[in-house]
Chain A
Amino acid sequence: MSAGPYNYSYIFKYIIIGDMGVGKSCLLHQFTEKKFMSDCPHTIGVEFGTRIIEVAGQKIKLQIWDTAGQERFRAVTRSYYRGAAGALMVYDITRRSTYNHLSSWLTDTRNLTNPSTVIFLIGNKCDLEGQRDVTYEEAKQFADENGLMFVEASAKTGQNVEEAFLETARKIYQSIQDGRLDLNAAESGVQHKPSQPGRNTLSSDQQFNKDNCAC
């Protein structure tokens, strides 16, 4: 079988971080399944999702790690930042405390990822306009000051969810094109994967997973 246009050529690793209950798992679910999970239990651990997207004609496989937001797990979830090409940092627009903690999440992200990691700020639950506790403007200003990309989104309605994940990928892809992101660096969070279907069946994917386990 010849290498065709449907195999992916890159793997990007994403992490989703933010306080407990801001909707990280729901965002992931909305992105991978196009559905809203109404009774989403607290994540106790790190959930894992995947989807293949297309950027500039390139198929890219996103490997998304959705982390537990509870404070008591903070020390453990820090292990998962390493090697992320994209970090989606989420707060809840109806709970100011989740917004106030952003600087601490951002510090972790900056310390534990590499400089080329794309950080995207997401103000989730924008469908709950009536309960808004954080204005768009102040969050936008925070994002600008810290050089983050930013949207308000809703995991419930799906608004801007797709955009946030895809825009992050585009930015990462752009970094690769510009040479800002070194694919050979062990922790770039990007794997270039020339399509080799014959070989994939036996080893390379497994290899990749193993690399990721060394948390």
Chain B
Amino acid sequence: MLLPTHENVINIVQAKFSCTEIVKTLHLNASITQKEWLDENRILALVEHDSTFALFIIISEKLKPESFSDLTIERAIPIDEHFSCDTDPIPESYTHIIFSIIYKKIKLNFVIEIGFESSNFASEVIRLKEISSLNVNDFHWLDKYSSGVSQTEINLQDPAMNDQSPDLPIARQKIAQGHGISANRESFLRYQLSLKEPEYTHLQEFSIFVGTWNVNGQPPTISLKNWLSIDQEPPDVYAIGFQELDLSKEAFLMFDTPREAEWRKAIMDAIHPDTKYRSVAYVRLVGMQLEVLVNNSHYKYIRNVAIDTVGTGILGKMGNKGGVAVRLELHNTSLCFVNAHLAAGVDEVERRNQDYNDINQRANFRRHPYTIREHDQVYWLGDLNYRITEQSAVQVKKHLANEDLASVLLADQLNQQKDLSKVLQDYSEGDITFQPTYKFDLNSDVYDTSEKARAPAWTDRVLWRGKGIHQLAYRSHMDLKISDHKPVSALFKSEICVVDQNKYRKVHEELLKKMDKLENEFLPQVTVDQSEVIFDIVKFREPQYREIIIANTGQVLAEFEFIKKLDDVSYCKEWLSITPFSGCIKPGEKCDLRLTVNLEQPLENIYDILVLHLMGGKDMFITVSGECQKSCFTTSIATLSRAPVPLLHLTPDQFNHAENQQSPILYSIPRELWLLVDHLYRNGLKTRELFESTALHEEIIRIRDWLDLGSMDQIPGSIHAVAEALLLFLSYTRDPVIPYHLHDTCIAASSNYQNCKQIIMQKMSDLDRNVFLYLSMFLQELLKYSNENGTDPKTLATIFGDILLRDPIRNSRPQANRGKASFIYHFLINDQSSLIMPCK
């Protein structure tokens, strides 16, 4: 749904796009919160092209763009599997919310105003995201919009992702709208748990053995014990990497090699015999293989294991060079092992650096989307292929013969490139105290005697990055001679963050409690200034008002509404009205409610319990009560005819006797009716529009009191007021003059006067008949003066038909009105004097 005000804007925005790219919906005035971005007026637009969707961030020079030249497309984000969005509250703000767009590692936070626009936009984005996950999407059409974006992308990495407030960010708006904080619970909890990690963890040292060997395509014809089991204590973790496991074309092209199983078996045969190990992960890309094993007893503390491979060889992607990696979490510490085989060749330093960067950029472990650098500890091993330049093979060998490793290490390309921060920046490496591990003649300890006579080099290395890692040993293993490389190993004591389950449970429990507490605190809360509303004596058709004040004492928007009780048809009784009966109150603000009682029924008292409901919160009961004053207007004809004095002068006993028809009938028609009609007869026969004009409200009240209390004074009010009082009197008598059960008979008989007369004479009680005939005679009298008062029988028949034959629920059968009028009409135009009978 689009707000009407946006229709113009959408056309302007559409002009920025081609005709196959359709702007579906917009959000204006989205301001971005990250400092790296210029504070501009931005528009978010959802654009469709060939059933794929993208979100565009557009800078607008004006708050509301007037032409497409006001707009600049800043960025296009495809809505695909990498896309997600979220909303977060802004502390202390009830009007705005943060709408975050997350794409891969990028998170953009927009401040948007809460309302239809934002909720429509957000729900549309979420809907499209769901659609996109079902399809294969081609986003080539976005290429033309993506130039010059990469800079911001780098700027927006990690810091933005961690941009969370240290306090629990409670989604006030969401709760206020009845959403609850549960949706965000998980992320709050995770974040809070990570902050409190020191409270429930301690560091425990684990020994980690990292080995690397370029095996030159040889099969494992020897035992690996002198490499893998050389330490006295069995390590807790093994990470063993091979390069050039198989140099055959088949391995390269078919990705399949018998060597894999052979070497894995060789590992299992050679690992430390004092402990049982279990393989955690295994990965191979062509000749690069990496296996991680752990001591059986630690296996259950390993979670979220994932592998990845990155080929950087031929065409920049084949697997003859590159890296394979395993990531896992041991207790609460994340570990990453990378086995790399970088570009060969003495002069290929830049290629090796490039390979390193490619591996870092491209490894992402899919299911557990972390980069290598995001791990607490990274162990980087492999044949990194950095050589010795600046010294000839002869010079190197001479230094080595003199056991002068230091001089040679000065010329080590890896050390040099690291110092220049071109590779393995911020990785550490232990002192090298072993001879170069490359290149030997096979099955010997003799450095390359071939024609090339390469200078010996430390191509095989182990480096690390992260806290709490202490290297205990770094060495080569000269006994293993089948390859032109010698294996290398490093042994570490690494501090692993171990969760104390009891403490964790406690911290977790406390956080849950805190969140429950907050959730309850953030339930809407209001107070009402009175829970019992008592009205003064309630009188017929004399409205009274009471005000109650609802104050929002909670911390969120309170949406209130009066609701129906079980089996009730309405939220309050028909004599009451409440304005407003629903609404919204901001925290700290108040709302006045007006309760109006207007009585039209014969009630002794009024009583009701109103239920004031808060959306997503509690209900409050408000009791409404009051005593009612009797009035002749709502009393039955039978009772009034038995009353010796005006109604309010009756003793309760007198009233009850009259009501129960135990006292004798004193008047053939109610006294009050006679007073009204007699006044009209004497004063109003020549008044125009006698029954068709409205009197003042106070006049009616004065006439009511005059009738109910009795008075020697003249009847108060204008002649029109008396006429209206007569109509009201007949409209509200407890029962209609013609009883309900006769109505259908009357309507059926309405075409025939004789039949109508029969009903009146035979089916009605004497009192009702008297009233009916008395009224019709008065109306006939009125019609005699129609020249002066302008009445006609049809109008009168319509007015009185509606009243004398009134429906139990007012005007419930408007289609019957014609029949009622016809029925009455007969009695206005035919002489009935013969029908009058004396009262018994």
A residues with CB within 8 A of B:
1, 3-8, 32-34, 44-52, 61, 68, 72-73, 75-76, 78-80, 82, 195, 197-203, 205-206, 209-210, 213, 215
**Cα–Cα, bound, A76→B189 (Å):** 39
CB distance from B129 to the nearest CB of A (A): 8
Total CB contacts across the A-B interface at under 8 A: 121
Q: Which residues of A contact B84 (CB under 8 A)?
A: 1, 198
Encode B541-572 as 1/0 by CB contact (under 8 A) with A.
Answer: 00000000000000000000101111000000
Q: Which residues of B contact A5 (CB under 8 A)?
A: 186
> Is the pair A6, B86 in contact by a Cβ cutoff of 8 Å?
no
> At the interface, yes or no: B620 with Cβ under 8 Å from chain A?
yes
Extra A-B contacts (10), CB below 8 Å, given A44-B620, A52-B185, A205-B180: A1-B84, A33-B520, A34-B513, A45-B620, A50-B516, A51-B519, A51-B520, A52-B512, A197-B186, A201-B87
> Is the pair A215, B621 in contact by a Cβ cutoff of 8 Å?
no
**Cα–Cα, bound, A121→B733 (Å):** 52
> Is the pair A33, B517 in contact by a Cβ cutoff of 8 Å?
yes
**Cα–Cα, bound, A44→B530 (Å):** 11
**Cα–Cα, bound, A95→B171 (Å):** 44
> Is the pair B178, A45 in contact by a Cβ cutoff of 8 Å?
no
Contact of B612 among A7, A45, A78 (CB under 8 A): A45
**Cα–Cα, bound, A70→B189 (Å):** 40
CB distance from A169 to the nearest CB of B (A): 14
Most buried by B among A61, A80, A200, A203: A200
Instruction: Using A201-B174, A209-B616 as known contacts, say yes or no to A32 and B517 having CB atoms under 8 A apart.
Output: yes
Most buried by A among B122, B171, B512: B512
**Cα–Cα, bound, A137→B627 (Å):** 48
Contact of A76 among B126, B179, B611, B618 (CB under 8 A): B611
> Is the pair A213, B179 in contact by a Cβ cutoff of 8 Å?
no
> Is the pair B183, A200 in contact by a Cβ cutoff of 8 Å?
yes
Q: Which residues of B contact A202 (CB under 8 A)?
A: 119, 122-123, 126, 179
Considering the complex, which residues of chain B in the window 185-221 have a beta carbon less than 8 Å from any beta carbon of chain A? Answer: 185-187, 189-190
**Cα–Cα, bound, A48→B617 (Å):** 6
**Cα–Cα, bound, A47→B508 (Å):** 28
> Is the pair B616, A199 in contact by a Cβ cutoff of 8 Å?
no
Instruction: Using A51-B516, A79-B566 as known contacts, say yes or no to A6 and B609 having CB atoms under 8 A apart.
Output: no
CB distance from B776 to the nearest CB of A (A): 46
> At the interface, yes or no: B177 with Cβ under 8 Å from chain A?
yes
Instruction: Using A1-B86, A32-B517, A33-B520 as known contacts, say yes or no to A200 and B182 having CB atoms under 8 A apart.
Output: yes
Taking CB as reference atom, which chain B residue is nearest A11?
A: B182
> Is the pair A76, B520 in contact by a Cβ cutoff of 8 Å?
no
CB distance from B102 to the nearest CB of A (A): 9
CB distance from A109 to the nearest CB of B (A): 15
> Is the pair B617, A6 in contact by a Cβ cutoff of 8 Å?
no
Q: Can you list 16 A-B pairs with a CB-CB distance of less than 8 A?
A: A1-B84, A33-B517, A33-B520, A44-B531, A48-B619, A52-B185, A52-B516, A68-B621, A72-B609, A76-B609, A76-B611, A205-B178, A206-B177, A210-B178, A215-B565, A215-B619
CB distance from B438 to the nearest CB of A (A): 45
**Cα–Cα, bound, A61→B512 (Å):** 12
Contact of B183 among A47, A75, A205 (CB under 8 A): A205
Q: Which residues of A contact B183 (CB under 8 A)?
A: 7, 197, 200-201, 205
> At the interface, yes or no: B378 with Cβ under 8 Å from chain A?
no
Instruction: Using A49-B520, A51-B516, A52-B512 as known contacts, say yes or no to A4 and B620 having CB atoms under 8 A apart.
Output: no
Considering the complex, which residues of chain B in the window 117-146 have a beta carbon less than 8 Å from any beta carbon of chain A? Answer: 119, 122-123, 126
CB distance from A112 to the nearest CB of B (A): 9
> Is the pair A32, B122 in contact by a Cβ cutoff of 8 Å?
no
**Cα–Cα, bound, A98→B34 (Å):** 61
Q: Which residues of A contact B517 (CB under 8 A)?
A: 32-33
B residues with CB within 8 A of A:
84, 86-87, 119, 122-123, 126, 171, 174, 177-180, 182-187, 189-190, 512-513, 515-517, 519-520, 523, 531, 561, 563-566, 609, 611-613, 615-621, 623
> Is the pair B618, A48 in contact by a Cβ cutoff of 8 Å?
yes
Contact of A7 among B178, B186, B513, B519 (CB under 8 A): B186
Contact of A46 among B177, B186, B566, B619 (CB under 8 A): B619
Contact of A8 among B177, B182, B513, B623 (CB under 8 A): B182
Taking CB as reference atom, which chain B residue is nearest A200?
A: B183
> Is the pair B566, A78 in contact by a Cβ cutoff of 8 Å?
yes
Task: In the A-B complex, list the 10 residue pairs whose CB atoms are closest, starting with the nearest.
Answer: A200-B183, A45-B620, A79-B566, A48-B618, A4-B186, A46-B619, A6-B186, A206-B178, A205-B180, A45-B621
Most buried by B among A6, A46, A195, A209: A6
Taking CB as reference atom, which chain A residue is nearest B521?
A: A33
> Is the pair B516, A6 in contact by a Cβ cutoff of 8 Å?
no
Q: Which residues of A contact B190 (CB under 8 A)?
A: 4, 6
**Cα–Cα, bound, A95→B87 (Å):** 51
**Cα–Cα, bound, A75→B608 (Å):** 11
Q: Which residues of B contact A197 (CB under 8 A)?
A: 183-184, 186
Instruction: Using A6-B185, A45-B619 as known contacts, say yes or no to A32 and B520 having CB atoms under 8 A apart.
Output: yes
**Cα–Cα, bound, A203→B126 (Å):** 12
> Is the pair A44, B621 in contact by a Cβ cutoff of 8 Å?
yes
Q: Which residues of A contact B182 (CB under 8 A)?
A: 7-8, 52, 61, 200, 205
Instruction: Using A4-B190, A61-B182 as known contacts, say yes or no to A213 and B563 having CB atoms under 8 A apart.
Output: yes
CB distance from B86 to the nearest CB of A (A): 7
Q: Which residues of A contact B513 (CB under 8 A)?
A: 34
> Is the pair A79, B565 in contact by a Cβ cutoff of 8 Å?
yes
CB distance from B183 to the nearest CB of A (A): 4
**Cα–Cα, bound, A75→B182 (Å):** 33
Contact of B563 among A6, A34, A215 (CB under 8 A): A215
**Cα–Cα, bound, A87→B523 (Å):** 22
> Is the pair A213, B613 in contact by a Cβ cutoff of 8 Å?
yes
CB distance from A81 to the nearest CB of B (A): 9
Taking CB as reference atom, which chain A residue is nearest B122?
A: A202
> Is the pair B565, A76 in contact by a Cβ cutoff of 8 Å?
yes
Contact of A45 among B185, B566, B611, B616 (CB under 8 A): B611
Q: Which residues of A contact B609 (CB under 8 A)?
A: 72-73, 75-76
Contact of B189 among A6, A48, A199, A205 (CB under 8 A): A6
Taking CB as reference atom, which chain B residue is nearest A64?
A: B520
CB distance from B501 to the nearest CB of A (A): 15
> Is the pair B566, A215 in contact by a Cβ cutoff of 8 Å?
yes
> Is the pair A45, B618 in contact by a Cβ cutoff of 8 Å?
yes
Q: Which residues of A contact B620 (CB under 8 A)?
A: 44-45
Contact of B623 among A4, A33, A72, A206 (CB under 8 A): A72
Most buried by B among A5, A45, A49: A45
CB distance from A211 to the nearest CB of B (A): 11
Q: Which residues of A contact B618 (CB under 8 A)?
A: 45-48
Taking CB as reference atom, which chain A residue is nearest B523?
A: A48
Q: Which residues of B contact A34 (CB under 8 A)?
A: 513
CB distance from B124 to the nearest CB of A (A): 11
Q: Which residues of B contact A50 (CB under 8 A)?
A: 180, 516, 519-520, 523
**Cα–Cα, bound, A8→B519 (Å):** 14
CB distance from B531 to the nearest CB of A (A): 5
Q: Which residues of A contact B122 (CB under 8 A)?
A: 202
Taking CB as reference atom, which chain A residue is nearest B609?
A: A76
Q: Which residues of B contact A209 (CB under 8 A)?
A: 178, 615-616
**Cα–Cα, bound, A198→B130 (Å):** 10
**Cα–Cα, bound, A4→B179 (Å):** 19
CB distance from B164 to the nearest CB of A (A): 13
Q: Which residues of B contact A8 (CB under 8 A)?
A: 182
Q: Which residues of B contact A206 (CB under 8 A)?
A: 177-179, 616
Q: Which residues of A contact B617 (CB under 8 A)?
A: 48
Most buried by A among B174, B185, B189, B564: B185
Contact of B621 among A4, A73, A78, A82 (CB under 8 A): A73
**Cα–Cα, bound, A80→B620 (Å):** 13
**Cα–Cα, bound, A4→B187 (Å):** 9
Most buried by A among B123, B566, B617, B619: B619
Q: Which residues of A contact B615 (CB under 8 A)?
A: 209, 213
CB distance from B109 to the nearest CB of A (A): 15
Most buried by B among A1, A4, A68: A1
